Amino acid sequence: MQEQERAFGALFVREAMGRATEELAEPPGLTAGAVREGRRRRLRARLAVGGAAACTAALAATGLAALPGPAGGGGPAPLQVAAAPAASPRVFPTTTVVPTASPDPSASGPAVPEAERLRIEDFRQRSANVLHDLLPAEVGSISLLSDHVSDYLGESPQGDLLLRLSVRPHTDGGPPDGPCTNTPIGQEVWVKNSVCKRVRLTDTLTGTAWRAVDSDGLTTTSVSFRLGGSDAYVGIMPYGRNRLSSPVPVDQVVAFAQQPRVMALLDEGDRHPVEEAQLSGPAYEE
């Protein structure tokens, strides 16, 4: 602190002496030239400092003037930061699985036109994106299961899950109605180790939610409902050799199905089908 005070005092004395000597007549000889050079340097230094300050003030004023003001006046608006460019769409990989039974070549369907294949692939990628964004992290990393439009694989260190997001054209020959069909909303009905209940998804749409326990004590949680002319199903179930119980409770599965992004996808699948009507889901080797 004392050194700073001494430096400040020396600078003050130097400036005062400089101002006093500027008014004196130049001495003869070499000394006069040195005095003139000193005066020029001091003048150039003052002009440089003053010019920098003026430029800074001008730039600040110009920047403030360029900012858009609020509609009612009252000063400049806050600086608007441009939004970052949108990230590239996420692409989920496709996993190939081996069916439980060898497919019957005579029962294979016709080849799908390329434009239709691309449409279905786009639908599946967007569905996987919704599963990734809206389901809890416990379901693990998500990939598409080959040849099964409605099915996705969830892999985590804890185990593997089958995630099903299905919307199929309704058929009268479909699975029979369950024990919760005509029960009051929210009333649970036990069937052995499983339980179902009717739930309300929207003001006009109801469905049936299930918490089913298999012979190994592993849990599947799901909700199914009619949507337009289709049967919609959202389910999370154990899968493969490293099977895991669904980490998503029934009420969270229902809440997932209620999300606008999910409903929009299911509604799109109802209006522009991506699946064929069938009586039962595909089987996988475990």
Instruction: Evaluate if residue 160 carries a pLDDT over 60.
Output: yes
Is the pLDDT confidence value at 124 over 70?
yes
pLDDT of residue 39: 53
254 within 8 A of 175, measured Cβ to Cβ:
no
- The pLDDT of residue 21: 52
Model pLDDT for residues 204-233, shown as the tens digit of each residue: 999 999 999 999 999 999 999 999 999 999
Enter the pTM of the model: 0.65
pLDDT in tens, 53-109: 444 444 444 443 443 444 444 433 333 333 344 456 789 999 876 554 444 544 445
Distance CA 168, CA 280 (A): 11
The contacts of residue 108 (CB under 8 Å, 6+ apart) are none
E-strand stretches of 22-158:
94-95, 141-145, 151-156
> What's at 26, amino acid-wise?
E
In the numeric block, which tokens belong to residue 40? 């020029």
What is the percent of the chain where pLDDT is above 70?
59
Name which of 167, 163, 214, 157 is nearest 191 in CA terms.
Answer: 214
| Residue 38 pLDDT level (bands cut at 50, 70, 90) | low
More confident residue, 134 or 37: 134
Q: What is the CA radius of gyration of the chain?
A: 38
Cα separation, 19 vs 79, in Å, equals 45
Predicted local confidence at residue 227, as pLDDT = 95
